A and B are shown apart, each in its own frame.
Chain A
Amino acid sequence: MTDTLLSAFIYLAAAVVAVPLATRLGLGSVLGYLMAGVAIGPVLGLVGDETNELQHYAEFGVVMMLFLVGLELEPRMLWSMRDRLLGLGGLQVSITATVVAAIALGFGLGWQTAIAIGFILSLSSTAIVLQTLQEKGLASTSGGRSAFSVLLFQDIAVIPMLAVIPLLAVPEILAAADAAGGHGADTGHGSSSLVAHLEPWTTALVVLASIAAVVLGGHFLSRPLFRLVAASGLREAFTAVALTLVVGVAVLMMLVGLSPALGTFLAGVVLANSEFRHELETDIEPFKGLLLGLFFITVGAGIRFEVLFDNAMLVLAGTVGVMVLKAAILFGLAIAFRVRRSEGWLFTLSLAQAGEFGFVLLGFAVGSRVVPPEIAPILALVVGLSMFLTPLLFIAFDRVVVPRYTQDAEEREADSIDDRGKVIIAGIGRFGQIANRLLRANGVETVVLDRQVAQIEDMRAVEVRSWFGDATRPDLLHTAGIDDAALVIVAIDERDQAVEIVENVKRRHPHVRVLARAFDRGHDYQLREAGADYTVRETFYSALELGTRALRELGMHPFRARNLRSTFEAAENEVRDALYAAWQRRPDGERMGRDHHELFMQLDAAMAEAMQRDRDDRHSRAERGWTPPPKGYTSEFRTDSAGRESDS
């Protein structure tokens, strides 16, 4: 127990030190984790061989990441990227694998070994690339989406590769292993399998049934289950459900011999339309983050310096060679698929490394007697080093590629008015609905959050896209996309929580403007103090409307009534500011303060007076619209201005 906790402490502490440092230096969190791993592994020797074991657990972070990626991706979007998925992904994997295999053959390796190495090096690192793309906000660019298509294809391609590798077993290696009495093939994957002893056609049936179970279960069963748990109001219960879902799908996929990453990705896609999507994302996100971090640490810790120093030239040449080769193929594909300019470079640089599935395949290939054990550590180093170098390529992209292309972009066109961010609306009751309808009707993208399941269901019934979730949770606002939101509208019924949301948003995202609905004066002051950029009392404008109507009913001309209303509104706004200033000076613990009450009476009287008073003894303030000149004023002009009339 103590040992476990101690190593947990070492891993966490290394991450705590290295990651903020790396982020501070602009290197990104991935490089931070990798360096932390190097520090506690080969350099300080604080952790040892258990890193390999740990890596298997940490790989579950990749599984979770693909679940989250799936959640972001609706089936419609997935379908629309099928060309890139099959075209870009298929070509990247097949061309890279072929070229690498050919080169390996040239080095005198057996053809079976060469093919296996081709497989291993054709894959890229889903973990590093997706994490970095998201961190840098590049995931939804055209280059980022192309990279994602390729990664997704690779994740699928791992399955047939795992099936093919055992068929490539090399007799000489087998013989050598038998002579040495080596351990048997261990896949690390299929330790227990439902399908190992079945006929091929029943296997296919079971596999199809499992996929159907994920899709149909996700579609029909998840909703009642989530609703039940959400109704309990226990946050940790929902977290448990979310974890159960991901782990369950992963286990099911492994039992039938499919990639767990692929299975959870599918589950994510199925749930992308669910109103619980943001809540699920929020719950899974921290687990994914920690596990992925752990994964990167184990990669760093697994780098074996003695092998590196013994074969320094070979390893370095191999790493650089692999990366250059992969980049060249990617660049060609970028041109062929019209991924242009900086996007093409992003695509090229981001995928030029080998990936974590390379480790998996390598271990499997050694176990299956396809790759000789003496070259395996060198290959592992090449894979690991190339992953280590990837964050540097992203930095190169940021510092070299982006500046070159942004200059061009500025020359082309200045900002257009349509480039506005989306709006998050917290609370979709009577108030939020009206604001939402106005915005949606004008093509503004809104993300609607409410924590009453019934409210969300009503909204979904009339096809308003809305999500279940508690907007007072900062992480939920994060998954709802506050990072690229322009506005947050706070319209929830709970007074104190509304203030809390305003505070949270203004503290964490000062760039986001916050518009809030207030119930009354007191709430209005609280919201303004919390930092809301604009507040409106929910009754004010409707009461004003009704009052104006009353003036008209009494026989006042509609235009005059409107002008009086505007004057009243302007005066009221001035009063409001003065009262707010008084409220801010209130003694501690008093809701309003005596000062405030007195001021209110004074200002109210002053306002009534202002509306009645004649300005300069000629016009009333209320009629500060068009004012007639005094009668008989034309007599002033007979001599005055006739001479200036020009006839040109």
Chain B
Amino acid sequence: MKRVLVLFAHPSIDRSEVNVELLRASRDHEGVTVVDLYAEYPDYRIDIDREQERLRDHDVVVFMSPLYWYSTPAILKEWQDLVLEYGFAYGHEGTALRDKLLLCALTAGGPEKAYRTEGFNHYTIRELLRPIEQTATMCGMRFVAPFILFSARTAHEESRVRSHVADWVRLIEALQRDTLDLEAAARAPTLNPMIDARDAGDPA
């Protein structure tokens, strides 16, 4: 079974409606390590050695957070700055992350159609995540499309949270059992339709 590490970043979890549910579902899932970064490092003093050890111990790394200014919340960027050191993650001897999987589980305020060339955000979510994708590439990791919930601010009112969380749990299971088609996942715009399709085609 693949070992999944969820790096969770939400600076104000008591106001969260979706991420808090994803966090809870991840914690309840056996075999998943969940790190609430803001809880563990409330003053941003990330323990580099501990975080590098965690990375070594897992096969799948998940950045779980809301999308802030087309990127991650600050602590997750701080985490990248500090933990992905030369000689560990990249560079001549930096092979610790080689062939591990990197995945973003995001929530975005804007609707899906905003993340198009003609939409008000002008770029697709894959285009906006290029810095993270290239970071993964630089570290020799496999990057796949994000698992994302659009229009997240109204998801609660429109009762979309529960099904999104259920999809997330199915995705965790697929990651653990290594049943996700990684080639297709690397090309896809988002992972969400792949989970739904799996579910529709394979009731088990």
Instruction: Place the interface of chain A in its size category.
Output: 10 to 19
Which residue of the partner chain, among A417, A563, A633, contacts B14 with CB atoms under 8 Å?
Answer: A417
Contact of B86 among A566, A624, A633, A644 (CB under 8 A): A633
| Distance in Å: Cβ of A558 to nearest Cβ of chain B | 14
CB distance from B25 to the nearest CB of A (A): 12
Q: Which of B81, B87, B137, B187 contacts A626 (CB 8 A)?
A: B81
Query: Which of B48, B82, B138, B186 interacts with A646 by CB under 8 Å?
Result: B186
Closest chain-A Cβ to B18's Cβ sits at a distance in Å of 15
Residues in A neighbouring B92, C-beta threshold 8 A: 636
- The one of B86, B134, B140 in contact with A627, judged by C-beta atoms closer than 8 angstroms, is B86
- B16-75 residues with Cβ-Cβ distance < 8 A to A are 43, 45, 48
Contact, CB under 8 Å: A644 / B137: yes
Q: Are B81 and A645 in contact (CB under 8 A)?
A: no
Question: Is residue B126 within 8 Å, beta carbon to beta carbon, of the partner chain?
Answer: yes
A residues near B14, Cβ cutoff 8 Å: 417
Q: How far is the CA of A624 from the CA of B48 in the complex (A)?
A: 8
Q: Check if A641 sits within 8 Å of B137, measured CB to CB.
A: yes
Q: Say whether B85 faces chain A, with CB atoms less than 8 Å apart.
A: yes
Please determine whether B82 and A648 come into contact, CB atoms closer than 8 angstroms.
Answer: no
B91 at the interface (CB under 8 A from A): yes
- Beta-carbon contacts under 8 Å, A95-154 to B: none
Measured in the bound complex, the distance between the Cα atoms of B126 and A566 in whole Å is 38
In the complex, whether A629 has a CB less than 8 A from a CB of chain B is: yes
Chain A residues, Cβ within 8 Å of B87? 629
B137 near A645 with CB under 8 A, answer: yes
Asked if residues A636 and B126 are in contact (CB atoms below 8 Å), the reply is no
In the assembled complex, the Cα of A628 lies from the Cα of B86 at a distance in Å of 8
A625 at the interface (CB under 8 A from B): yes
Query: What CA separation (Å) do A644 and B135 show in the bound complex?
Result: 12
**Residue contact B138 to A636, C-beta cutoff 8 Å:** no
Bound Cα distance A624, B49 (Å): 9
Least CB distance, B153 to chain A, in whole angstroms: 20
B81 and A566 within 8 A (CB): no
Determine if A566 and B187 form an interchain contact, defined as CB atoms under 8 angstroms apart. no
Check if A566 sits within 8 Å of B134, measured CB to CB.
Answer: no
Cβ-based interface call for A630 (8 A): yes
Interface 0/1 of A326-340, CB less than 8 Å to B = 000000000000000
Choose one: A417, A626, A636, A646; the contact of B91 (CB below 8 Å). A636
Check if B91 sits within 8 Å of A648, measured CB to CB. no
In the bound complex, how far is the Cα of B94 from the Cα of A629, in angstroms?
A: 11
Q: Do A633 and B91 have beta carbons less than 8 Å apart?
A: yes
What is the chain B residue whose CB lies nearest that of A636?
Answer: B92
A624 to B138, CA, bound (A): 22
What are the residues of chain B within 8 A of A637 when measuring CB–CB?
138
Please, which residue of chain A has its CB at the minimum distance from the CB of B126? A648
In the bound complex, how far is the Cα of B37 from the Cα of A83, in angstroms?
50
* Chain B residues positioned under 8 Å from A648 (CB to CB): 126, 186-187
The answer to whether A630 touches B138 (Cβ under 8 A) is: no
A645 and B134 contacting across the interface, CB-CB below 8 Å: yes
How many A-B pairs have beta carbons closer than 8 Å: the answer is 33
C-alpha gap A646/B187 in the complex (Å): 9
Question: CA of A626 to CA of B14 in the docked complex: distance in angstroms?
Answer: 30
A627 touches B187 (CB 8 A): no
A558 to B112, CA, bound (A): 43
| Chain B, Cβ-Cβ closest to A643 | B137
In Å, the complex CA distance between A637 and B126 comes to: 24
Interface residues as binary, A605-629 with B (CB distance below 8 Å gives 1, 0 otherwise): 0000000000000000000111111
Taking the closest CB of chain A, its distance from the CB of B182, in whole angstroms, is 13
Instruction: Determine whether the beta carbon of A629 is less than 8 Å from that of B91.
Output: yes
Instruction: Kindly list chain B residues whose C-beta atoms are within 8 Å of the C-beta of A627.
Output: 85-86
- How far does the Cβ of B139 sit from chain A's closest Cβ, in whole Å? 9
Residues on the A chain within 8 Å of B137, using CB: 641, 644-646
Alpha-carbon separation in the docked complex, A633 to B92 (Å): 8
Collect the chain A residues with CB atoms within 8 Å of residue B126's CB: 648
Q: Which residue of B lies closest to A644 (CB)?
A: B137
Report Cα–Cα, A587/B133, bound state, in Å: 60
The distance in angstroms between the C-alpha atoms of A52 and B14, with both chains bound, is 60
- Chain A residues with CB below 8 A from B91, complex form: 629, 633, 636
Q: Could you tell me if B45 and A566 are in contact, using CB atoms closer than 8 angstroms? A: yes
Q: Of all chain B residues, which has the CB nearest A630? A: B86
Complex-state Cα separation, A417 to B126, whole angstroms: 35
Q: Contacts A417-B14, A641-B138 hold; do A629 and B187 have CB atoms under 8 A apart?
A: no
Compute how far the CA of A645 lies from the CA of B92 in the bound complex, rounded to whole angstroms.
18
What is the bound-complex CA distance between A646 and B134, given in angstroms? Answer: 9
Q: Which residue of A lies closest to B48 (CB)?
A: A624
CA distance A624 to B43 in the complex (A): 15
The closest CB in chain A to the CB of B188 belongs to A648
- Cα–Cα, bound, A616→B137 (Å): 26
Taking CB as reference atom, which chain B residue is nearest A645? Answer: B137
Closest approach, in angstroms, between the C-beta of B49 and any C-beta of chain A? Answer: 8
* Chain A proximity of B47: nearest CB distance (Å): 9
Report the nearest B residue to A634, measured CB to CB. B91
**Minimum distance in angstroms from B103 CB to a CB of chain A:** 15
What's the nearest-Cβ distance from chain A to residue B189, in Å?
A: 9
Query: How far apart are A571's CB and chain B's nearest CB, in angstroms?
Result: 13
A residues near B48, Cβ cutoff 8 Å: 624
Given known pairs A646-B186, A648-B186, the reply for A625 and B134 (CB within 8 Å) is no
Q: How many Å lie between the Cα of A242 and that of B82 in the bound state?
A: 64
Determine how close the nearest CB of chain A comes to the CB of B19; give it in whole angstroms: 14
Nearest-CB distance from B185 to chain A (Å)?
11
- Complex CA gap A641/B98 in Å reads 12
| CB closest chain-A residue, reference B139 | A641
Q: Which residues of A contact B81 (CB under 8 A)?
A: 626
Min C-beta distance of A632 to chain B, whole Å: 11
Given A636-B91, A646-B186, A626 contacting B82 (CB threshold 8 A): yes
B169-199: contact bitstring with A at CB < 8 Å (1 yes, 0 no)?
A: 0000000000000000011000000000000
- A217 and B173 CA atoms in complex are apart in Å by 72
Please provide the chain B residues from 132 to 146 with a CB less than 8 Å away from any CB of chain A in the complex.
Answer: 133-134, 137-138, 140
Q: Which residue of A lies closest to B24 (CB)?
A: A414
The 7 closest A-B pairs by CB, nearest first: A629-B86, A644-B137, A566-B45, A648-B187, A417-B14, A636-B92, A626-B81
Residues of B within 8 A of A (CB): 14, 43, 45, 48, 81-82, 85-87, 91-92, 126, 133-134, 137-138, 140, 186-187
26 contacts between A and B (CB under 8 A): A566-B43, A566-B45, A624-B48, A625-B82, A626-B81, A627-B85, A627-B86, A628-B86, A629-B86, A629-B87, A629-B91, A633-B86, A633-B91, A636-B92, A641-B137, A641-B138, A641-B140, A644-B137, A645-B134, A645-B137, A646-B133, A646-B137, A646-B186, A648-B126, A648-B186, A648-B187
Given contacts A627-B85, A641-B138, A648-B187, 18 further A-B contacts (CB under 8 A): A417-B14, A566-B45, A624-B48, A625-B82, A626-B81, A626-B82, A627-B86, A629-B86, A629-B87, A633-B86, A633-B91, A636-B92, A637-B138, A644-B137, A644-B140, A645-B134, A646-B137, A648-B186
